[in-house]
């Protein structure tokens, strides 16, 4: 017997997972009409969850870490590329650059069929920790000074489990 998926099924699976995450966090979370949910944490960190319509089970979690300032960027690019080297820390997500907006993004694609709310909550916690650490790093980064990418990553020293921020809500913006 062949299972035929209907249009929107993938959004329903991601929606269910987001609702269950909300129950776990004590918040009424849901995807908006565009298949998105924005979590805003104490301190202003935002994390978006978005169903990927082109792929049945996948969704993306992402956060804008900051905007690059005008001027020399080689040292910042080195630091950002070094952060993507395979490591326990890089498992939280991949750092990318939106060249049209000059924004640094942390992102990770997830498969809703392989997750439950407990695992997603752990992923979000680690993701937010990394997003906060990189946001702070980008804000104070001196683009004029040479930087060793490895030293930059070491300096961050973010820890899983250090999250004390609480999501303020979710929905359309």
Does some domain include residue 164?
A: no
Q: What is the CA radius of gyration of the chain?
A: 17
State the pLDDT at residue 79.
Answer: 87
pLDDT in tens, 25-53: 899 999 998 889 999 988 889 999 999 87
- The alpha carbon torsion through 81, 82, 84, 85 (nearest 10 deg) reads 140
Decide if 15 contacts 115 (C-beta within 8 A): no
- Output the domain CATH number for residue 48: 3.30.1460.10
Does some domain include residue 55?
A: yes
Per-residue pLDDT, averaged over 112-132, amounts to 92
- Count Cβ atoms below 10 Å from residue 117 Cβ, excluding itself: 17
SS3 114: helix
Does some domain include residue 99?
A: yes
Does some domain include residue 162?
A: no
Does some domain include residue 168?
A: no
Which residue, among 58, 36, 35, 57, has the nearest Cα to 47 in the 3D structure?
36
pLDDT at 158 over 60: no
Does some domain include residue 165?
A: no
Which residue, among 78, 77, 135, has the nearest Cα to 105 in the 3D structure?
135
**Cβ burial, residue 49 (10 Å; 0-12/13-18/19+):** buried
> Per the structure, how many domains does the chain have?
1
Which residues span the domain enclosing 84?
Answer: 9-156
Which residue, among 101, 97, 91, 96, has the nearest Cα to 129 in the 3D structure?
91
Does some domain include residue 46?
A: yes
Does some domain include residue 163?
A: no
pLDDT in tens, 79-114: 888 888 876 655 678 999 999 999 999 999 999 988
Decide if 48 contacts 167 (C-beta within 8 A): no
pTM of the full structure: 0.74
With residue 120 as reference, give the H or E element that holds it: helix 117-140
Share of the chain above pLDDT 90, in %: 37
């Amino acid at each position: 017997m062949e299972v035929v998926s209907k249009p929107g099924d993938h959004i329903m699976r991601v929606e269910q997972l987001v609702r269950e995450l909300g129950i776990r966090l004590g918040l009424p979370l849901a995807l908006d009409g565009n298949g998105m949910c924005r979590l805003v944490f104490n301190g202003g960190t935002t994390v978006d969850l978005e169903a990927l319509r082109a792929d049945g089970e996948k969704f993306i979690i992402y956060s804008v870490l900051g905007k690059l300032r005008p001027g020399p960027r080689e040292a910042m690019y080195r630091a950002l590329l070094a952060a993507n080297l395979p490591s326990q820390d890089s498992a939280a997500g991949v750092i990318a650059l939106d060249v049209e907006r000059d924004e640094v993004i942390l992102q990770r694609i997830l498969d809703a069929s392989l997750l439950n709310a407990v695992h997603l909550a752990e992923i979000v916690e680690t993701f937010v920790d990394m997003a906060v650490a990189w946001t702070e790093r980008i804000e104070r980064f001196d683009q004029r000074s040479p930087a060793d990418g490895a030293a930059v990553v070491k300096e961050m020293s973010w820890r899983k489990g250090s999250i004390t921020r609480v999501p303020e809500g979710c929905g359309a913006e």
